Amino acid sequence: MQNSFGEPQTILLLGGTSDIGLAIVRRLASPTLRTVVLACRDPDAAGDLVAELGSGLGSGLGSGGVDVRAVGFDASDSAAHATLIASVAADIGDLDVVIMAFGVLGEQSGYDADPASAAAAVTVNYTGAVSSGLAVAHQLRAQGHGNLVVLSSVAGERVRASNFVYGSSKAGLDGFAQGLGDSLEGSGASVLVVRPGFVHSSMTEGMKAAPFSTTPDKVADAVASGLGAGKRTVWAPGILRFVFMTLRHLPGAVFRKLPLG
């Protein structure tokens, strides 16, 4: 259970190799942290990451260090998500913070040429988030505490033609996460929706950066601040809230002419 300072003892990262997710884990680490679970597609291949993270988090955090482990998680296998969440909780105890950081970006041109790949991407980004999110909410509600951090995207605020498959999946995810948070009202648990802009990470490597681009560490700072303040939504960077407040209400004919990529 988190202490009076909101410092977690346990963290589950869904999307265990995510640059942003790992940055959040590192940012939330404190002397109270005892267990981190990285849920990823191939846990055997995450051995070096587990060792590296365990060594880094263990430094200065008590003689026992932090137990970092990897478990198998396939975002597209919705039928397995409830069992996975229950199993992790049975192994490590209450889940103080769960970070939902999995997803695929892809290119719109590829989706246009291969509709099946577009459906597969939406299955990961949205359907997988629904099944795993509901499973997490069930666990947090039973505990009576805990935070679910959902990595959404500004791409879902107003979907652009250049990446409308990805953007629409994030729009669905964002709406689901907001509703899930409302459903947990009064339970002691909460949902924090995180809306980053362009983040310099392995997912975006080689892509042209958008205005107000940021880094995984800065997103992690925004998450930590949002959790500490009990917020339901954070933007990274914060200025994007005002940018999209304007973009959201532009007439379609004007919006389509903007050089947004």
Contact 73, 13 (CB under 8 A): no
Of these residues, 73, 111, 166, 235, which one is catalytic?
Answer: 166
Q: Which long-range contacts (CB under 8 A, 24 or more apart) does 215-221 make?
A: 215/23, 216/19, 216/20, 216/22, 216/23, 217/23, 217/27, 219/20, 219/23, 219/24, 219/194, 220/20, 220/23, 220/24, 220/26, 220/27, 220/28, 221/27
Amino acid 152 reads S
Closest CA to 261 of 193, 215, 204, 194: 204
166 is catalytic: yes
Q: What CA–CA distance (Å, rounded) separates 7 from 98?
A: 13
Residues noted as catalytic: 166
